[in-house]
Structure 1
Amino acid sequence: MKPSLLSALIAVAFASAASLPAQANDWYVGGGGGVSIGHDLDDLGSDVDKNDTAWSLFGGYNFTENFGAELGYLNTGDWSVDGEQFSSQGATLSAIGRLPLGDIFSLFAEGGAYIYQVDTINGSDNDYAPLLGLGMGAQLTDWLDLQARYRYMFRVGDDPDNGKLGSGTDRWVTDVSVATLELVFHPNRHAYVAPVAAPMVAAAVAPVMVDKSFSLSSDVLFAFNKATLKTEGSSALDDLYQQIVEVNPKDGQITVMGYTDRIGSDGYNQTLSEARARTVADYLVGKGLPADRVSTQGLGESNPVSGSQCDGIKAKSDLITCLAPDRRVEVKVTGTQTEQTPAPVEPQPMTEPMDSEPAKA
């Protein structure tokens, strides 16, 4: 082994990660299979089979949208040289750099080490090889990605004394490349964490019943098929919160209801509507609404407002545009309102007043 270089690689990867700002708890696991090639085996004999099946298992953590670290297992299969077998397997340790391309696709590159064990006619050996890789991923759902990856490992099977005069070692050595197709699971990519809420300021005299609703376009709040707020979505919820502050209902209750369009399965749309409702509730509670007064409902593709006007549209892009009114989040506020001006203390109200007209987005 070459411990000093490997230790330095590990230290640099994790020191870089520690210096980056923390984000959501986005850890992942995955696996895949593909093809491996032993590039230099032609130099070791005349009857060579240098292609075989490779497979891998891995787990990692994304510290930010652009940087992560990954640990895995890679088996490059068995190659044949003049009837003798050359096999390789071991652990991979990589730092991952990622470049998002829109909401679905991303490119990534990795650098690290392949800590291998090789079995050849010369016996077994353990060491590590530098590893470089490139890949592209596609987000299929909030928790599932499909990615293609290409890796190249340098001088697998090498030994510090390999081929030296009088060393007694003449090990088989080859560069190895592996191309795999992989499924990656992100269990917590959109996990909901309830924030700590500030208490509500109460005022009471001449109570008036409050029962107001807002309807906010999901296309303003979220990208299509997503449950993470866009910048303009945050601005729309800021406006909604200020209206609730002005009404300042006593003992108020807020219900956040998420709806989707009819594209996709019932189960998927139900899950997406729940996630969007939780995201909006999370944001309003984070602004100051009491968490115990805010509830959420995911209503999936029920209660569409587009009616039958989109029937017959076949092109998916046109159908997505036509069904935009169905993708919405409705926020309902109920309680009592006082006509007395609140005390001159900075209010931290329970919910924002909901007019019968949609909030400006």
Structure 2
Amino acid sequence: MKKTTLALAVAIASLTSVANAALPDDTFYTGAKLGWSKFYDTHADRVDGATKASSNNVGGGAFVGFQANPYLAFELGYDWLGNVKYKTSGEKLTAHGASFTGKLSYPISFITDDLDMYARAGAFVSTARWKADGEKHSNTDVSPVYALGFDYRLNQDFSTRLEYQWVNHIRTDSNINPDNGMLTLGVTYSLGSPSVPKASELEVRENRYVLNEDILFSYSKADIKPEGQASLDELVKTLVKLNPSESAIIVIGYTDPIGSNSYNLKLSEQRAKAVMNYLESRGVPAGLISARGDGKSNSVTGDKCNALKGAELRECFAPDRRVEIQVQATTIQEVLVSEQKTNTK
């Protein structure tokens, strides 16, 4: 069988097709939220002349964050918690403040790759103002703040979040130190999402199909996306015609140099196996194909990205994040023996 030059031109999908819940590493983002706020332990019986405390309000806030890696982010925010009005007595408590929290996320991939569950925890610097008998008093203190929520990625730049936040023990200059719970719906905008490489930037190489990671997988995931499946379906039309006695197909996963060796090696192996399994499910003979992950090795970008940082660095490394499907004019057994000999030198 003659060696054939194989080329796969991959069309880049729209922004919504590359959605994933976790932002790229070293990305800043900003957002706002609005919802329902309620104070607890308001103790109307401790306020002279008060018959009831009204503590349901509209609450909300704004925040900026930094995504350190797919699972960890840090946020600085400002929250308006609303007020407590004591009926009959006319006294009023108003609270707001700034927070600094760490945010841990976990993907809920069994539902969709675009959804994360997260938890936040940190410190809330509250300012509580007490108004009584025409006089105003304020107190500033630090309280613990906790939050649980869900992030849903709409596209490369925008995501939504549903969150319940709890501020514990807001201190005032009176004998009432309430807690606050706030349920909000928010919108997040990425300030540094790297651009998706254009199709013209994909290299054509002899005897290899080269597929960019962004076509096949969501960020830091190993589940093949629908548009990735469509590209592989086109490839299958060629691969199923090969003669198993004369050819071998090797699926190799690669990552960019960002991150640890162990993490990148594991991710590249998972992605290569996912592609291999998909091709087999579409009719490519199992005895014709094998898979391996080479992690961050065999970079095609060289040192041209060394001076870049953040989003520009990740965009520059895009050609390294790929899956190569090599077609070799030999049997799979001969390929494995040849590779074993090479590795022992």
Q: TM-score, normalised by structure 2?
A: 0.50
**Correspondence list, 1:136-151, <5 A:** 136-151=150-165
Question: Do structure 1's residue 181 and structure 2's residue 175 form an aligned pair?
Answer: no
For residues 58 and 155 of structure 2, the distance between their equivalents in structure 1, rounded to whole angstroms, comes to: 28
Once the two structures are TM-superposed, the CA of residue 190 in structure 1 deviates from its matched residue by 3.5
Q: Deviations over 1:215-248 (max 9, x none)?
A: 556799523xx4778599995466xxxxxxxxxx
For residues 207 and 131 of structure 2, the distance between their equivalents in structure 1, rounded to whole angstroms, comes to: 76
Residues 110/127 of structure 1: CA separation in 2 closer, same or farther (3 Å cut): same
Once the two structures are TM-superposed, the CA of residue 129 in structure 1 deviates from its matched residue by 1.2
Question: Do structure 1's residue 76 and structure 2's residue 70 form an aligned pair?
Answer: no
For residues 30 and 191 of structure 2, the distance between their equivalents in structure 1, rounded to whole angstroms, comes to: 9
Once the two structures are TM-superposed, the CA of residue 87 in structure 1 deviates from its matched residue by 0.8
Amino acid in the other structure paired with 1:39: Y
Corresponding residue pairs, total: 206
Root-mean-square deviation (Å): 4.1
- Does the residue aligned with 1:178 lie in a helix, a strand or coil? strand
Residues 219/26 of structure 1: CA separation in 2 closer, same or farther (3 Å cut): closer
The farther-off stretch of 50-59 and 181-190 is 181-190
Residues 113/285 of structure 1: CA separation in 2 closer, same or farther (3 Å cut): same
Q: Deviations over 1:311-337 (max 9, x none)?
A: xxxxxxxxxxxxxxxxxxxx9xxxxxx
Residues 211/70 of structure 1: CA separation in 2 closer, same or farther (3 Å cut): closer
Q: Which residue of 1 aligns with 2:146?
A: 132
Question: Do structure 1's residue 61 and structure 2's residue 66 form an aligned pair?
Answer: yes
Residues 47/192 of structure 1: CA separation in 2 closer, same or farther (3 Å cut): same
Percent identity for Structure 1 against Structure 2: 18
Q: Which residue of 2 aligns with 1:47?
A: 52
The answer to whether the 8 Å contact 1:35/1:51 transfers is: yes
For residues 227 and 177 of structure 1, the distance between their equivalents in structure 2, rounded to whole angstroms, comes to: 33
Once the two structures are TM-superposed, the CA of residue 286 in structure 1 deviates from its matched residue by 3.4
Amino acid in the other structure paired with 1:286: S
Structure 1, unaligned stretches of length 5 or more? 1-22, 160-169, 194-209, 239-282, 293-330, 332-351, 356-361
Once the two structures are TM-superposed, the CA of residue 24 in structure 1 deviates from its matched residue by 2.5
Question: Do structure 1's residue 287 and structure 2's residue 300 form an aligned pair?
Answer: yes
- Does the residue aligned with 2:84 lie in a helix, a strand or coil? strand
Q: Which residue of 2 aligns with 1:37?
A: 38
The farther-off stretch of 130-139 and 81-90 is 81-90
Q: Deviations over 1:71-127 (max 9, x none)?
A: 010001122112322111110111111111122111111111111111112611111
Once the two structures are TM-superposed, the CA of residue 188 in structure 1 deviates from its matched residue by 2.2
Once the two structures are TM-superposed, the CA of residue 189 in structure 1 deviates from its matched residue by 3.5
**Which residue, out of 115, 121, 125, partners 1:115?**
125
Q: Deviations over 1:152-192 (max 9, x none)?
A: 11111345xxxxxxxxxx34321111111000112324457
**Correspondence list, 1:1-361, <5 A:** 24-43=25-44, 44=47, 45-82=50-87, 83-102=90-109, 103-121=113-131, 123-158=137-172, 170-191=174-195, 222-223=216-217, 226=218, 230=222, 236=252, 286-287=299-300
